[in-house]
Structure 1
Amino acid sequence: MIATGATALQVAEHHDLPAPRLIAADLTGDQSGTPASLETMIAGTTSWPDGSPERLRAAGAALARLHTVSMGPREHLPFRPRPIAVDDFATDRRLGRMPTTALLQQADALITAHGRPDEPSVYLHGDVWPGNMLWSGNQVTAFIDWKTAGVGALGVDLSELRKQAAITFGPEAPTEVLTGYQQSTGHPAPHVPYWDAVAALNTPTTCWTPTATIRRNNFLKTALQNLP
């Protein structure tokens, strides 16, 4: 993860993307005694005082900037088939390592049968949620915490942010994120229901609060209703 984060920051600097800049990295730990990296500090806050349409659209637009970089897998930036790829809650449920529900089972079966869409590969943050976005006013100054970055379909990031917005701010929030994203790119995002379902499936069966679980489930139901 240290190597992934350091490599991701190098790509971000090369393309002038909103992220900290890498100062140094000791990937083997020979110099510092443990694998480590050092990056610049960026002014801003991760606090979202509200889920206003303006802020949600700004978040979507900022994310679209990352995806202007087309690239394939490289050392320390692997292909990512889902957000936060170090977790695979769908497989854990499938193998009986955690409890499941009828909704999650249905969603997993439908997504498996649908298959991953064939899409261009872009630069991904990998863990896009409000806590990993720095704000100054209503502008995103940086994305932070790049340890699960990689490459893959843009929906990996976009739908993770939509899911997080739905859980945090309610059912209208994902639409605002998508609006901001598509206004920035100038064209519709592909396969949104599929990636929404993938993002929802990559959560624990019971989320951190009852409200979060209900909102996750409603987000997932909407994705399945719109899945071709």
Structure 2
Amino acid sequence: MNEIAEPVLEWVLTRLTLPGHSRATLAGAAGLREGSNPWMLRLDDGRAVVLRVGDPENQEQREGFGVEARLLEIAEQHGVPSARLIAHDPTGAEAGALALLSTVVEGSSRVPEEPTPELLAEYGRATAALRGVPLGALDGMAHKTRPIQSVDFAGARRRQGASDLLLAAEEAVARRPVPEGDPGLVHGDLWLGNTLWVGAGLSGFVDWDCAGIGEPGLDVASIRLDAALMFGGEYAEAVLAGYLTGSGQGRVEDLAYWDVVAALSTPPTMAEFTPVIQDQGRSDLDRPTLERRRDAFLEAAMERLA
């Protein structure tokens, strides 16, 4: 979606018009992902909000928007750094499309070319803080057993002709039961592009549509893989150290398993992920580099799993 439809904009301005004030008016809009949806909207009175728009006929998107709306409320209730929900049209009946309106979190999601030790440690510590949400607050949410669970990466491996390494990893995971032990909130799609930063401080998590209940290793492996992809495999241990400090734990159970699962939650060729990563400031990362780093991370995880 390269522009905001008029009914959606009407819905937004209606929701943002304050009681006793003249009608809210739009001063400008900027796409936050590759120049498009979601949108940063600025009003003439100086306020700014974020708008996400989706297709009401798409069941996956309807479910994702519902999860996002609920998680924004949970985040506010339990002090998780994130945006706050302003309004949500879960069916498109009012806006003519799925629509979710939230506050703006200060900071940037641009991925630096070189990480600082402070950033890596904070990435892990902030991820550990998600486990502070009580399990009871997540009642009824879906159980997650891998990152970005709604995407059929196994099907992509079949269609795109996956490497022997990826197929061996798929078989290794299939032979093992999903670990169970310490369920809690998992973001389900953690990478630096879904976080906001002010300096070396993480100011908020965004894009909660893959969130649910799961084991801590799911998110920990995601940030480990992300560090390996963005900066190199040697940086995976730094974010793990930050997580262990923040959680007060000495280890993450079944981490080799979750590292393999995280690597399998990427496209075989990384072609789909490359432009998204480049849009977040890492134009230096091309497909071969990302595939090489992913495969090295996966090989190391497979050795530990065996």
TM-score under structure 2 normalisation? Answer: 0.70
**Structure 1, residues 40-80: CA drift from partner, whole Å, max 9, x if none?**
101101123222222111101001101222427644x3111
The residue that corresponds to 2:206 in the other structure is: 144
SS class of match (1:97): helix
SS class of match (1:114): coil
**1:120 alignment partner AA:** D
The answer to whether 1:89 aligns with 2:153 is yes
The residue that corresponds to 2:102 in the other structure is: 39
* Distance in 2, Cα, partners of 1:70 & 1:178: 22
* Distance in 1, Cα, partners of 2:102 & 2:81: 13
Contact 2:106/2:198 (8 A) holds in 1: yes
1:185 pairs, out of 247, 265, 281, with 247
**Structure 1, residues 95-143: CA drift from partner, whole Å, max 9, x if none?**
x333111111111111111221112211111111011110011100000
The answer to whether 1:176 aligns with 2:238 is yes
The answer to whether 1:78 aligns with 2:78 is no
The residue that corresponds to 2:299 in the other structure is: 221
2:215 pairs, out of 145, 153, 156, with 153
Contact 1:60/1:180 (8 A) holds in 2: yes
Higher Rg: 2
* Distance in 1, Cα, partners of 2:200 & 2:87: 30
* Distance in 2, Cα, partners of 1:74 & 1:68: 15
SS class of match (2:132): coil
* Distance in 2, Cα, partners of 1:202 & 1:68: 25
The answer to whether 1:28 aligns with 2:106 is no
The residue that corresponds to 2:259 in the other structure is: 196
The Cα shift of 1:92 comes to: 4.0
The residue that corresponds to 1:211 in the other structure is: 289
Compare the two structures and name the one with the higher strand fraction.
2
Instruction: Report sequence identity in percent.
Output: 38
SS class of match (2:204): strand
Contact 1:159/1:199 (8 A) holds in 2: yes
The answer to whether 1:167 aligns with 2:167 is no
**1:129 alignment partner AA:** W
Structure 2 unmatched ranges of 5 or more: 1-63, 275-286
2:164 pairs, out of 84, 102, 120, with 102
* Distance in 1, Cα, partners of 2:176 & 2:98: 40
The answer to whether 1:54 aligns with 2:54 is no
The residue that corresponds to 2:133 in the other structure is: 69
Contact 2:259/2:298 (8 A) holds in 1: yes
2:76 pairs, out of 8, 13, 18, with 13
Root-mean-square deviation (CA), in Å?
1.5
Q: Which has the higher contact order (CA 8 A, sep 6+)?
A: 1
Structure 1 unmatched ranges of 5 or more: none
Contact 1:10/1:22 (8 A) holds in 2: yes
TM-score under structure 1 normalisation? Answer: 0.93
Contact 1:17/1:65 (8 A) holds in 2: yes
* Distance in 2, Cα, partners of 1:102 & 1:62: 35
**2:105 alignment partner AA:** I
* Distance in 1, Cα, partners of 2:266 & 2:292: 12
Runs of 4+ in 1 over 6 A off after TM superposition: none
Contact 1:156/1:199 (8 A) holds in 2: yes
Contact 1:70/1:121 (8 A) holds in 2: no
**2:201 alignment partner AA:** Q
* Distance in 2, Cα, partners of 1:81 & 1:153: 8
